[in-house]
Amino acid sequence: MTVPLESVDLRKTYRYKGRENLAISNFTFTVRRSMIFSLLGRNGSGKTTFVKIATTQLEQDSGTVRVFGKDIKTDADEIRSMTSLVPQESRPFPHLTPREHVYYYQRMLGNTREGAKDSTDYVCILLDMDYFADKECVNLSGGQKQLTMVAISLSADAQIYFLDEPTIGLDVITRRKVWEAIQKFKEKGKTIILTTHYLDEAAALSDEIAIVSYGTLVRQGTLDGLRSALSHDTRVFLPGVRYDQSYAKFGESQELPNGLLLYTDRESVDEILAGNMISKSRIEVGPVGLDDVFISLVGEQIEGE
């Protein structure tokens, strides 16, 4: 069975002032049907470059991407008919309303007046937009404008959706509405490619996650599979503590500006707490999470935690 998305040895560089800057290198992965696949990484890590290549907006240097078996170079028109995109930095027209944006987009796709209206009403209700859907976008907040762009993309009856930082600038409640909508599209059998730098978003939504750092795919797998990349199951944060050799026996450590982060095992927690009685009330103990995986693999904190 043809897979929705396959990237093979993809590479792209940008030239600036006579110098080559590597955007992505050796992007190789496969996305299965009816799944949410997330590219997780810092801003500038290459996520948007990949989306632009996969949606035929940008030409790669080498390698290829296939969408349902169609090659991005030779079958671009067919790929565009199967995909829908929320670009990262898109903006609505100021003097159209969100409802008009979605309706006119539906008409451009060839939908009938009645069908376009039904699709528009559905997505506005799905994303809880009715209370501002008839206001001109010039009068909307940044988050409402972003939600308008998400609504346009989700109104399309595509086979695969590329959502490039779809919740950037949205408040917590609205982000959750978008999450719920994405899950519903997955339940309908749709495939979603999500780029994000929000750890909680990737953890909550993804069937598989690919961690990207400086244009390279560092690790790919399920959330549990990525957690298994760490050799310990527990994190202990000691605020205000600096590293010394006495902590080496407990496991791995990461010295942060505001304290010491230890990756250890549950059996060692009592001993660690006993040795830090003064600050015990402020010590944080919990299972390792996606942020710990990211720090372990790429050696730095991700933005937007």
What is the pLDDT, as a whole number, of residue 303? 45
Is the per-residue pLDDT at 16 higher than 90? no
What is the tens place of the pLDDT at every residue in 124-181?
999 999 999 999 999 999 999 999 999 999 999 999 999 999 999 999 999 999 999 9
Domain boundaries, the chain: 5-227, 234-287
114, two tokens:
């009645």
**Residue range 80-87: average pLDDT?**
93
Q: Domain spanning 5-227 has what CATH number?
A: 3.40.50.300
**Residue bearing the bigger pLDDT, 280 or 276:** 276
**Residue range 82-96: average pLDDT?**
90
